[in-house]
């Protein structure tokens, strides 16, 4: 988390933007990974926090198949890829419910599949 923040701050100091930014390698994906979440948070809680940087079109809060309890991480898809840059830069390392979260880009998000191999339609 610290190294991502350091890279971002260095880019700001140097005036690097657009195609020269480290974010550019993720320009084709509007998905982010969020780790370190409190196990009691719901999809609605995550939406409330992360929607401030853009319209969320997909959320996958990963849950244990047997218990249904959160595993403490999720994937979010934004309507606009530029929202991922804002979310990664501003949320990585912050505390939510007393826990430091990790937020990063996802290069190739694959939708989860059910036991028959069909894509699961998420919220």
* pLDDT, tens digit (0-9, with 9 covering 90-100), for 41-82: 999 999 999 999 999 999 999 999 899 999 999 999 999 998
Residue-wise pLDDT for 84-121, tens only, equals 989 998 999 999 999 999 999 998 887 776 665 655 66
CATH 3.30.1330.10 fits 26-105, yes or no: no
CB 113 within 8 A of CB 119: yes
- What is d(CA 103, CA 44) in angstroms, rounded to the nearest whole number? 18
């Amino acid at each position: 988390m610290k190294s991502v923040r350091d890279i971002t701050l260095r880019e700001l100091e140097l005036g690097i933007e657009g195609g020269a930014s480290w974010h550019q390698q993720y320009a084709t994906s509007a998905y982010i990974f969020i780790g370190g979440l409190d196990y009691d948070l719901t999809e609605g809680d995550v939406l409330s926090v992360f929607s401030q940087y853009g319209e969320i079109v997909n959320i996958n809060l990963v849950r244990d198949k047997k218990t249904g309890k959160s595993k403490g991480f999720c994937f979010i898809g934004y309507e606009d890829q530029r929202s991922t840059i804002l979310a990664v830069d501003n949320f990585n390392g912050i505390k939510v419910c007393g826990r430091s979260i990790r937020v990063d880009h996802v290069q190739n998000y694959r939708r989860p599949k059910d036991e028959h191999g069909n894509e699961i339609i998420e919220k």
